């Protein structure tokens, strides 16, 4: 009887450890004036390689440098292979984030871009500090 419990415990441990893998990719970009930081992090599907065509859960967060409280936070759900993004600060008040599939060379300057997945355009009101998402 004790042997059955040990076998069951071992099986439970193996299932718990093997089924909880998830890849996380992310990075932070500072504003041109250095006062703000935009962070993007994407999580792949559980038990799947990040390059597989699968669900990706991405988070976008804008903070004042050195602050823990976000000025803006949004979850973006995407479907795709290797999801990558490009952050462009048009000014200290305007940010554009493009999510796209990366076909090859994803982590080098010579990457090959695939299909566009989603675009966010954020506008910051300097007087109030409010951040709003503008339809693109």
Phi and psi at residue 51, to the nearest 5°:
-75, -15
Instruction: Please identify which residue in the block is written with the tokens 């010579």.
Output: 110
What does the block give as tokens for 121?
């355009």
Of 33, 36, 27, 134, residue with least CA distance to 86: 27
> In sequence order, what are the residues at sequence separation of 6 or more whose Cβ sits closer than 8 angstroms to the Cβ of residue 26?
39, 40, 41, 42
What pLDDT digit, counting tens, does each position of 98-111 carry? 999 998 877 777 87
What pLDDT digit, counting tens, does each position of 54-89 carry? 999 999 999 999 898 999 999 999 999 999 999 999
Residue 92 lies in a domain: yes
Residue 100 lies in a domain: yes
Distance CA 52, CA 23 (A): 11
Q: What is the mean pLDDT of the chain?
A: 85
Largest Cα–Cα distance of the chain, in whole Å? 71
pLDDT level of residue 1 (50, 70, 90 thresholds): low
Residue 12 lies in a domain: no
**Domain CATH number, residue 49:** 2.40.128
Residue 50 lies in a domain: yes
């Amino acid at each position: 009887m004790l042997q059955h419990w040990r076998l069951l415990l071992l099986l439970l441990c193996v299932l718990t450890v093997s089924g909880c893998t998830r890849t996380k990719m992310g990075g932070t970009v500072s504003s041109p004036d250095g006062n703000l930081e935009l962070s993007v992090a994407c999580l792949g599907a559980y038990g799947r390689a990040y390059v597989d065509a699968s669900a990706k859960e991405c988070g976008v967060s804008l903070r004042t440098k050195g602050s823990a409280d976000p000025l803006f936070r949004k979850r973006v759900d995407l479907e795709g292979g290797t999801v990558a993004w490009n952050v462009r600060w048009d000014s200290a008040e305007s940010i554009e984030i493009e999510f796209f599939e990366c076909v090859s060379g994803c982590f080098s300057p010579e990457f090959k871009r695939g299909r566009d997945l989603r675009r966010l355009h954020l506008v910051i009101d300097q007087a109030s500090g409010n951040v709003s998402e503008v339809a693109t």
